[in-house]
Amino acid sequence: NDARPAIAATVENWADYDTVFIGCPVWWWTTPMIICTFAESYDFKGKTVVPFCTYAATYRDETLTRIVELTPDAAHLTGEGLTSGRINEQNISSWLKEIGVIE
């Protein structure tokens, strides 16, 4: 219903961050509404957003796309979505290397 649940705290020193990872589980085919609250609460101009999600079977791409849509003023790196069986250090390291976050 397009709710915007409150977030209990704020990010300290927001201006100090150049790269922001925004991740969530897929809930009802998309991002949880609190991700919308977060994205609307901060200025992403000049930042790079890295979307990621966990999912059971479907709606990975739609969820990653939604995070990008919520942060239009940011640059975006290629996101990743993983099912529970694929969440491990090797898969995450490979993705972070592919997008240039780690060597």
User: Residue 100: left (phi > 0), alpha (psi -120 to 50), or beta?
Assistant: left
pLDDT of amino acid 2: 86
Q: Are 20 and 45 in contact (CB under 8 A)?
A: no
Mean pLDDT rounded to a whole number for the chain:
95
Mean pLDDT of 9-13: 96
- 3-class DSSP string for the chain: CCCCCCCCCCCCCHHHCCEEEEEEECECCECCHHHHHHHHHCCCCCCEEEEEEECCCCCHHHHHHHHHHHCCCCEECCCEEECHHHCCHHHHHHHHHHCCCCC
First-to-final CA distance of the chain: 42
Q: Calculate what percentage of the chain has a pLDDT beyond 70.
A: 100
CATH code reported for the domain at 19-98: 3.40.50.360
pLDDT of amino acid 1: 79
The predicted-structure confidence for 17-64, as pLDDT tens digits, reads as follows: 999 999 999 998 889 999 999 999 999 999 999 999 999 988 999 999
> Which residue from 51, 57, 16, 19 is spatially nearest to 35, judged by alpha carbons?
51
